[in-house]
A and B are shown apart, each in its own frame.
Chain A
Amino acid sequence: MKSVRRIAVIALQNFKESVRERVLYNLIVFALLLIGAAILFGRISVGVEQIILVNLGLSSISAFGLLMAIFIGISLVWKEIDRRTIYSILAKPVRRPEFIIGKYFGLVGTLLINTAIMTTGFYVALLYDKGRLELSDFRALGAVYMILLQLALVVGVALLFSCISTPILSAVFTLCVYVIGNFLNDIRWFGQETNSAWVEKLTTFLYYLLPNFGNFNVISRTAHGESVPGYLLLSNSLYTLLYLAILISAAILIFEEREFR
């Protein structure tokens, strides 16, 4: 129980720290501007206004969320080590896993707030465009939830890299994993097309090993008025939870061995 409390304290502290990052505000403002611009885009295209608005709005939330996740995630642990703030923390009765988990939840909290702000902006734009909101418009929340799952996973990847590497390298690695994770379907397809048993085995292995970010891409479906099936929400939640457990465990394994010279 004391452990949970310490995790909460560290998470809250990290949340406060992230929330005070000025870059975040700039990103949010930019995202809101883009969502606003979506209204404009909708106006000049005939027949697909809503589709564009939903597409662009959700894509903005996703893209800027990703930027934030990577931007804060990569410096999550590294900054503490670099600035030696971690010395006084670990000299207190804080276990290293508690520190890692606390840091993670702090950042996820930050992303939650930011996504909430952007989502509100999105609905304001939708309201402005349509004049009223219908119940069916809140189907988009399913997509927002998927975006959040995706961001949580990205933060997990960033956290893992942040335990090993400098922020710039971490950012590059995390982005790589994100991009590859989005193309996993194509990679596996490629493996099947090569007719080489080895390549196919390798790509299949990668397919199940790397985080499959393609799972969360439901934006265009949502834009066409489809709702995200419950089963997909459930299985993706489970997937994210499991993968996060793996990432955080791996981060802890690394961090436990880490020396602060």
Chain B
Amino acid sequence: MLAVETVDLIKDYLEGFWRKRPKRALEGLNLCVERGEIFGLLGPNGAGKTTTLKILLRLIFPSSGTARILGKDIADVSVHHRIGYLPEQPYFYDHLTAEEFLNFAGELFGLPASERRRRVASLLERVGLEESRNVPLRKFSKGMVQRVGIAQALINDPELVFLDEPMSGLDPLGRREVRDLILELRATGKTVFFSTHILSDAESLCDRVAILHRGRLQGCGELRKILALGVSSTEIILEDPRPTVLKELDRYAPSAVKTGERVRLEIPSESDVPKVLEIALRHHTKLVSVNPVKKSLEDYFMAQIGKKPATSNEKEEVRTREGRV
């Protein structure tokens, strides 16, 4: 059973005051999230990440398509017993204290009082707010509110947690803590579905990612594979090579960048690397380094969203199918 599954999810917003025109926010989204993984939904602002999450949580309704959470249709609110949700830039009743609010959240799940007390205390400790438990939320900083938000998302010990931009508003230390928390959740067998526009967070956390741009899924797959796919060239740095050497290497390395004494060569074909090395050694040129160039998530991301929109539906479908493998 998949944790999250969406099939051809489309969302149109009606825009305009008098004459409402539909504006497509989500264009036929197909996603699968396995249980027990950390899944990252990536994309620039306005890509449709929050829309996707709100559809899954029944805050807005899809224009067409279906979605399931933990095997149940999203229209079935009872599944909310088993999930947690941290909204984007959360805001809670600011006259309540952190403790009161978490208690209220627990009551909504129908948790018995003793259980609530236990969980509230442990969660406050886990997000580092036990000192401020009796402070009204209106006196909290943005980062503290974010932590309360995470705590309330976990109050029911959910199987699946949706986090919308969990790192925003946090200082580096806080980000680190949240990152650890997410990893900890995976360790206890939970599924984490989070959205972010910060790629480094995704790179360091996700098992799989999906990239959204303008409501379309641009790519989806295991992070490991995406990054491995990227080993595409080799970088060789030489120190003070003679011009004749460079001339000889010209046919193997289309780009040679000179900085100071050093020259950086990029060799696209792996089979050319020994030849280049042989030439360099023959001329007694000093070799500084030989590195395989790995593509970062950012390169991949840029490449994906820089792509021209798919020319045909067929192509699109092929790609998304690939993503689901």
Where the two chains meet, the residues of A that have a C-beta atom closer than 8 Å to any C-beta of B are 2, 5-6, 9-10, 13, 16-17, 20, 83-85, 87-95, 259-261
Contacts and interface: CB of A to CB of B under 8 A. Distances in A.
B90 A87 contact: yes
Given A13-B96, A88-B92, A261-B54, 4 more contacts: A5-B110, A84-B87, A91-B80, A94-B80
A5 B13 CA distance: 35
B75 to A, nearest CB: 11
Given A92-B109, A94-B108, A261 B60 contact: yes
The 6 A-B residue pairs with the shortest CB-CB distance in the complex, in nearest-first order: A91-B85, A87-B87, A259-B60, A93-B80, A9-B107, A260-B59
B87 A88 contact: yes
Contacts of A10: 108
Contacts of B300: none
B20 to A, nearest CB: 13
A239 B32 CA distance: 53
B147 to A, nearest CB: 14
Given A90-B58, A93-B80, A9 B104 contact: yes
A145 B134 CA distance: 39
Mostly helix, strand, loop or mixed at chain A's interface? Answer: helix
A91 B81 contact: no
A70 B100 CA distance: 27
Contacts of B85: 87-88, 91
A93 B87 contact: no
A259 to B, nearest CB: 4
13 contacts: A10-B108, A13-B93, A13-B96, A17-B95, A84-B91, A85-B93, A87-B57, A87-B90, A88-B85, A89-B108, A91-B58, A92-B109, A93-B77
A6 B108 contact: yes
B83 interface: yes
Interface residues of B, number: 34
Contact of A259 (B59, B77, B109, B162): B59
A215 B149 CA distance: 47
Contact of A91 (B60, B83, B91): B83
A260 B87 CA distance: 12
B234 interface: no
A93 B108 contact: yes
Nearest to A80: B93
Contact of A93 (B81, B89, B93): B81
Given A87-B87, A260-B59, A95 B77 contact: yes
A93 B109 contact: yes
A88 B105 contact: yes
A55 to B, nearest CB: 37
Contacts of A93: 77-78, 80-81, 108-110
Contact of B152 (A5, A9, A88, A259): A88
Contacts of B109: 92-93
B59 A90 contact: yes
B61 A259 contact: yes
Contacts of A88: 85-87, 90, 92, 105, 149, 152-153
A261 B13 contact: yes
A235 to B, nearest CB: 38
A91 to B, nearest CB: 4
Contacts of A9: 104, 107-108
A259 B57 CA distance: 11
A92 B90 contact: no
A260 B60 contact: yes
B62 to A, nearest CB: 11
A5 B95 CA distance: 22
Nearest to B55: A259
Given A84-B87, A90-B58, A259-B59, A16 B95 contact: yes
A91 B110 contact: no
Contacts of B61: 259
B13 A85 contact: no
A94 B90 CA distance: 18
